[in-house]
Every structure is written in C-alpha cells, then in structure tokens.
Chain A
Amino acid sequence: MDQILVNLQLLAQFPVVNIKIILDGIMIGALFALAAYGLALVWGVMNVKNLAQGDFVIAGGYVAWYLAGLGLHPLLGVPVAFVLLWVIGWVCYKLVISRVIERDLFTSLLATFGLAIMLAQIMNLLFGSDTQSVDLDMDTLYFFDGFVDIPIAKLIGVLMAAALATGVILFMKNSRMGQAIRATAQDARAARVLGIDTEKVYAFTFSLNAAICGAAGAIIVMVWVIQPFYGITHSVRAFVIVTAAGLGNLPGVIAAGLGIGALEQYGAMIFGIGYQQAIAVMLLLLVLVFRLVQQRRKRQVLQ
C-alpha cells in the first residue's frame, strides 16, 4: 500500500510522466492491436477462436530475425513475413482449420491449441529456444529533457497499425472479396446460396489473419524479444482486445488495443509491473460482466 502511495506521489510530482505513460501505452497498445486484428476477422467470419494467434506473431518475428541475420535490413522482414505467413496460414487452414469450421467450440479450440503447440515446437526445432531480437539501429526520439522517449520501431508499429486498419477497412468496403467476407460473416448459408465460394473466403480470411500476425511479429521482434513459447502471451492479449472491442468491430480493435496498452502502463506504474497483465484480464472480465448485464436488460425489455 505504501508503495502505491509513493507511486501516486511520483505521478503527481512529475506530470510529464503521465505523457510518457500515455505514449508508451499507445505504442504498446498498437502492437497488441496488430496481433488482434486478424483474430477479429477469423472469429467474426469463421467463428473460429484461434489459440495459435500468438504463434503466428512469433513466427513472423523469426522471419524478420532470420533475414536480419543474413544482413538484410530489419524492415524488409515486414513484407517478407506478411507473404510467408500468408502461405503458412493457408497451409494451416487446409490441414487443420477447414476441418473444424462450423463444428462445436470445443473442437475448434482443441484443434487450434494443437496447432499452437505444433508451431511452437517447429520454431523451437528450427531456431532453438534462445530469446532473440532484432536491433533496428535507428535513434530513439527524445522530448521533455529526454524524459519522454519514442523508439522508432514502436513508432513504425503505430503507423503500421493505423495503415493496416485503414487498408483492411477500405478492402472490406470496396473489393469483391471484402464484400464476400462481410456477406459470409453475416450469414454463410445465404452467402453460399448467392454463389459466394465460402470455402475460398474462409481460406483467404485465415491466410490474411496469419499474414497480419506475421507482419506484426516482424515489428514486435524489433521492440521486444521473442522465443518459440511466447505465443501464448500475444494470444491472451488478442483475445482480451477482440472481446473488449466486440466481434466485427475493426476500428474498435485498434481503440481497445490502445486503451488496454495505456491501462496496462498506468497499472504497472501505480500497482507494480507484476500486475500488468492481470489488469488486462480484469478488464476482460469486466467487459464480459457488462455485456451479460446488458443482454439481460435487453431480454427483460423485450419480455
């Protein structure tokens, strides 16, 4: 309790810290949102709760790390990871996911959990279990006498999250495949009756999800460290963000990501860093309780 009071005093004594926390939160939240973006699509369109989400992120990180090891510029990892993870996502869809669509929740959770373990073990065999990271080797920007810092890699993450959100929303609205995805998400059977190849839509959506995760991972490896078994951390946060944002709400995913990032940073500053992830999970529980209460009220009004 004493420590919490000391931390609150620090926040009050140094107002600039609040700016730093908000900026840190936004930058970290943008990276969370990137990893969650594809999950919102897969969950909304295919009703698959993909527990391998974080493992796709880590795989993207390894692609960037491997390329950097070959002497290529780290940022080249972003497009390469996007393409490579698209292919990996398509293979995973054909081998595993296509068999669990329209099956019960337990089956899809079990299948994607198996996929997560398999991906982690493959990465472990290929790259070993050491933690890895990539140094972007670009200067950090400093403001307020060096008290507020913006590492370029994190800034790229924010810009990428914004570009991706805009790109996906425009794609959904304006392209034929985007419209087919929306139609399938609303009613797959009706979409099939109208001549939409839902199998193709599902394969495209899952591959796109993996590709977005891959690109996110290529950025994340420049900000944090990766290891084959760290996928679960990103999966948990992706689920929290999508649940908080609501299904199909792509701008909401970005907003929820940024919000959770900022809340985690404030929580870590006030209560201690050990509570950082507990705050995200608490938020998830609060959102779920709030939603349940709302649903009950709606039902009562209808009755």
Chain B
Amino acid sequence: MRPAFQLASVLFAASAFFVAPSAHAEDCGEIHLGSAISLTGKYATNGIHAKNGYEFAIEKIKEAGGIKMGDACYNFKVTYYDDESKGDRGATLAERLINQDKVQYMLGPYSSGLTKAIAPVTEKYQIPMVEAEGASRSLFNKGYKYLFAVLSTSEQYLASAITLAAEKAQENGKDPSSVKVAVAVENDPFSLDIRAGILDDAARYDMKVVIDEKLPRDLSDMSAILTKVKLIKPDVLVVSGHSKGAATAVRQIDEMQVKVPMIALTHCEAADVTGKFGDAANDLLCATQWAETLTYEDEIFGSAANYEQEFKAAYTEYETKSVPYQTAQASAAVYVFADAFERAGTMDKEAIRDAIAATDLSTFYGQIKFSEFGNNIAKPMVLRQIQDGKYNVVAPSAFASHPLNWPRN
C-alpha cells in the first residue's frame, strides 16, 4: 500500500470516528420534562421519594444509552418546582412550567389531591402527563385525554383483603357471606375510594358491613371505633388514614388488645409501623403497589429485586429500609415516557400522547397498559403481611412468596 493511500485511510478513519454520532449518552440531546412536586409540607417525605424515583430512572436510561429516536439519542432533564403540598400552588406551578419554561411533557406530583389540582391545567394546554402517585379513581372519570397513571387505582388497594377473608371462611367450612367487615377510612378522596372498593367486594360476597366509619383528617384517637370493634367482633377490619391513621390504629389496636382475625391497612411503610411498634405490627396486612420480591422485570432496571438493590446503592439513605413503592412507580412513569418517545420517534406532543395511550409495557414495576380513561389496567395490587417484622407478599396468590398467617393473634 502506498504511503499516500495509507495516510488517506488513516485520516478517513479518524474523521469517521469524530464525525459519526457518538453512542455515549453524554452526547445525547435533551427532552425537557416538568414536575411540580411536594418537597416541603405535609407530603414532603413521599414527594421526595417520588423525585428520587424520577431521577434514578433518568440516570438508568442515560446509562443504557439514552432514548433512541432514529439516529439521535436523548436524555431526560426535569425542571422541578416545590408545590409545598398545596393544590393551588401546584396548579400555579404547572402553568409556570408550561407557559414560562415551555415544558411540553409533565411528570405527576405526589397524591391524588395534588394531581386533581394539576390535571385540569395540563389538560387545558394539552400537555401529556404521566403520573405515578395519584390513585383516586375520581381522576379517571373526567374524560381527561392527557393524563396517564402507572399505578393501580385506589379502590383496588385493599380489595384483596376481602377476597382473602372469603377464601379463609371457605377453608373453615363457612359461607363467605357470614364474614363481618368493619371499615374505618379517612374522609378524603383516596380513602373513600378504598372504602368503595371494599363495599363493592363485600357486596359481591354478600358480606355484612358491621362498622362503616369515616375518620376525621386530624384524627388523634380511634378508641371509640376500636371499642365498637371489640363489642361487635368483625372478621376483617380495614383502616385507611394515611400514615397518621396507620400509626394511630397500630398503637391503639395493641393498647386496647383488639383481636380481629384479619386487619388490613394502607400506609404501613410510610408510618414505619414495624420500626415504631415492633411486634405489635405483626400479622397486619398492608396494601402495596409494588414489592421487590415480585417476579416483574424489564430491560432497563432488570428485576424488581435488582431495582431495589441498585436504587439502594444509588441512594444510600434507603440502605436500612425498604424502598417505598412510591419510588418504584415514579421510575416506572419515566420509563413509560422513554418508551413512548422511542415508539413515536418524534417530539410532537400529540404523537407522544398517542404513543403513551398505546403503551403495553412490561416493567420491573409490573405490566403497564392504559384504559381509555388513562388508568393502568394491567397491574394488580399486592397485599403483604408483616411477619416477624418483615413485609412478605401473601396475595394475590399468583405472586405470594409466603403463606398468610391467619387468624391474627
């Protein structure tokens, strides 16, 4: 080979190296998302869990080479504002993100209440929003076209408890209709949905609802309800009142020695019932959207267990505790956007909306497929039981890692 040709080959190869699009995620373009989320105020803890979930997913997608659209690749960048756990501020910040920061795609806030405040704004400006923390079913009966939720709606949260109670009745040679149900839920949209789900399921089995009480928002004492529980002796007690309700219930159930074969709660982890009340929390059933022991997996995060492991390595403050499902579902919301962008192959927000609507995705968080109303209809809720201080999956039986301890002592 002549030297001139050799030099030309080397120069061509070198130029090709510099000119060809890089596979490094650092060289990718940016897709700008916005989120008004609770970084202070009463929802700050869960708001921060959600933000960490968003950021972890963004980093994982970046590590995997970014979002591929044709020859180009992109990474997500999120502008966050603190809604201070207030709906009106959330709505104002959503307007600001859309009008001033020119954000074309949104990630959801924390809680059903905040999502309810923000969704009309994103709908008005036709901005696709994938949310991960608003479970109230009332979000999905308003005909919104741009709102999508990766999580199961709230009426499904504790419905498995009723099915479990029916199964246990049958195992013991009793008719499910003989089961007596007690319900105590906070008077807010989320917990009222849970109540509706329980009542629907109880009616399906013809069970009798013997206590049906609404807890005040500033609940400090449940002894009146628990006294009735001691008198009426129901077979199932369901309590939903955010972390305050869970903590109050666990403490007073223990203090008053309330014996019910099955007690199901929401927000066990948020209230840290195992850390605060030790053995008193044993055998309680806790609703969860996700658990690290589930057999879900995907290409970005790997298995549910792998997600937990890697998330804990990235956010060391979670090392000594379970990764909250609020974090996992926030990561799943980012994944839905990434998948939609890749399938749409364009930045056009209408095309992105349509791609999100057509999502059918297996993830470490579970299957995601949206109904025409925007809620995820492909993923079941999971029920875990606190067994010797550990949260073990006991229902639905297809995903159960441990048998149910019944009746509760």
B376: min CB distance to chain A, Å:
27
A273 touches B45 (CB 8 A): no
A149 touches B244 (CB 8 A): no
In the complex the two chains form, what is the Cα distance from A14 to B229 in whole Å? 13
In the complex the two chains form, what is the Cα distance from A217 to B279 in whole Å? 25
**Which one of A17, A21, A140, A227 contacts B244 once the chains associate, using CB atoms below 8 Å?**
A227
A131 touches B228 (CB 8 A): no
Which of A85-133 touch B at CB < 8 Å?
121, 124-125, 128-131, 133
Residues of A near any B CB (own CB < 8 A): 3, 7, 10, 14, 17, 20-21, 24, 28, 121, 124-125, 128-131, 133, 135, 140, 142, 146-147, 149, 151, 224-225, 227-230, 232-233, 265, 268-269, 272-274, 276-277
User: Looking at B44, B184, B227, which has the most chain A CB atoms within 10 Å of its CB?
Assistant: B227
**Which one of A121, A232, A272 contacts B214 once the chains associate, using CB atoms below 8 Å?**
A272
Pairs A–B under 8 Å by Cβ, sample size 9: A10-B228, A17-B231, A20-B227, A21-B227, A131-B244, A131-B247, A225-B247, A225-B271, A230-B218
**Sample of 4 more A-B contacts, CB < 8 Å, known A135-B251, A149-B257:** A124-B41, A229-B41, A268-B224, A272-B214
Question: With A140-B255, A149-B255, A274-B215 in contact, is A129–B42 under 8 Å at CB?
Answer: yes
A130 touches B227 (CB 8 A): no
B243: which A residues are within 8 A, CB to CB?
A: 130-131, 225
B318 within 8 A of A: no
A142: min CB distance to chain B, Å:
7
Question: With A10-B231, A140-B255 in contact, is A273–B244 under 8 Å at CB?
Answer: no
A17: min CB distance to chain B, Å:
6
**Which one of B43, B45, B220 contacts A224 once the chains associate, using CB atoms below 8 Å?**
B220
Question: With A130-B243, A227-B42 in contact, is A233–B220 under 8 Å at CB?
Answer: yes
A265: which B residues are within 8 A, CB to CB?
A: 223-224
Which of B201-239 touch A at CB < 8 Å?
212-216, 218-225, 227-228, 230-232
A224 touches B218 (CB 8 A): no
B406 within 8 A of A: no
B44 touches A28 (CB 8 A): no
B216 touches A274 (CB 8 A): yes
Question: With A129-B44, A131-B243, A135-B277 in contact, is A273–B213 under 8 Å at CB?
Answer: yes
Which of B228-272 touch A at CB < 8 Å?
228, 230-232, 243-244, 247-248, 251, 255-257, 270-272
B276 within 8 A of A: yes
B187 within 8 A of A: yes
The residue on B at minimum CB distance from A236 is B218
B222: which A residues are within 8 A, CB to CB?
A: 273
B309 within 8 A of A: no
A149 touches B218 (CB 8 A): no
**Which one of A121, A225, A273 contacts B40 once the chains associate, using CB atoms below 8 Å?**
A121
A277 touches B271 (CB 8 A): no
B89: min CB distance to chain A, Å:
14
Question: With A124-B41, A273-B215 in contact, is A225–B228 under 8 Å at CB?
Answer: no
B221: which A residues are within 8 A, CB to CB?
A: 24, 28, 224, 276
A274 touches B213 (CB 8 A): yes
In the complex the two chains form, what is the Cα distance from A140 to B251 in whole Å? 11
A269 touches B257 (CB 8 A): no
The residue on B at minimum CB distance from A3 is B212
Question: With A269-B227, A277-B218 in contact, is A124–B44 under 8 Å at CB?
Answer: yes
In the complex the two chains form, what is the Cα distance from A182 to B224 in whole Å? 40
